[in-house]
Structure 1
Amino acid sequence: MRALITLSDLELVGLLKAGDHAAFAAIYDRYKGLLYVHALKLLKDEDEAQDVIQEVYAALWKNAPHYNEAIPLKAYLYRAVKNKIFDIFSHEKIRSEYVIQFDEIIQKGTWITDEQVRERELIAAIEAGLEQMPPKMREIFELSRFSGMSHKEIAEELNLSDKTVKTQVHNALTILRLKLGSFFCFFLL
């Protein structure tokens, strides 16, 4: 092992490509401290920096037979560390964006869905109340509430007295209140 310490990076890479475990250990010992400090500066987390270094060395060993000797070992290792860190940052950014989007979907989506369900139920309850009304009362109520006509305009159009229109609208509202009363009590609970 002592003799390996004196070898150049290029010589160590040659031995590494041949599967020499001692050459790998020598490379590890030569650069582990420098790479760790480099990773720690960028990550600001000791455990994460150590994980990055381990991954880089594992990849170096796995891909050793294909290592391009034209690339200086030190530059290769620094670049590998930097790339791993960029991958971490990229995944953290994507993860945080997913979390933000998921929170928005939960916050907006749930309330939108609840509101839509309530709106549909309310419309169904109103329609059921309208179905219970006699035809003339329903016509008067729809002209009053949905067409925005005044009692006087309805009376003139249907050839009725103002008092009859007013009574029919009042009775229609009473029917709807009874029909919708339980609906509103249900949502208040």
Structure 2
Amino acid sequence: MKRNSDKDVNNLWQSFQTGNNDSFTAIYNTYSNQLIAYGYKLSLDQDTVHDSIQEIFIDLYLKPKKRNADIKNLKSYLFIALRNKIYKKLQRNSRLETLDTSKENVELVFHVEYSYQEKLAQDEISMEIKKLLQHATAKLPSKQKEIIYLKFEEEMSYEDISVIMHISVESARKLFYRAMLSLRGYIEKKELKTIFFIFFRKNNSN
């Protein structure tokens, strides 16, 4: 199914800001499944994910400051809000578990290996290569898994990814290509050519 364009979503957001609550429902329906999928990869606690998404949309609906915000890219805004909210909940839970109120940092772990099945469904490559890609991705560091997911599955720009992951645009580019290089170390050269062709063909077509 084709996702709504940025222009369509921006029109919905502007319509909601002028008082059309049906537009708000349409925004939720557009992004809720993507947010859930991303959230499940940031936290194994599904209640934390669903609570976070609910809180984000409640804030948008009820708080005038957020409702009237000049949001240029709503999808990016929602992903950033979800990542930050989950991080804060995990940080708070970690402090409660350790009884250490001075504990500052909790590292977000990209738990679930990225699934390429849907994106590769229309490509004529063997199931063996798909499995190789799955196993190779599972070996990547958490941040490399996350950037592949955001770039390949969510089709986000490096600018949006940099804001979501709290890194510079240049660091986002380097991290993505580092992830590609890491995959090269886990996959045979013959299969690698096919996989890289798929990655960069889809990237350059966006």
TM-score range, shorter chain: 0.3 to 0.5
Which protein has the bigger helix share? 1
Q: Radius of gyration: which is bigger?
A: 1
Question: What TM-score comes out, normalization by structure 2 length?
Answer: 0.42
TM-score (norm 1): 0.46
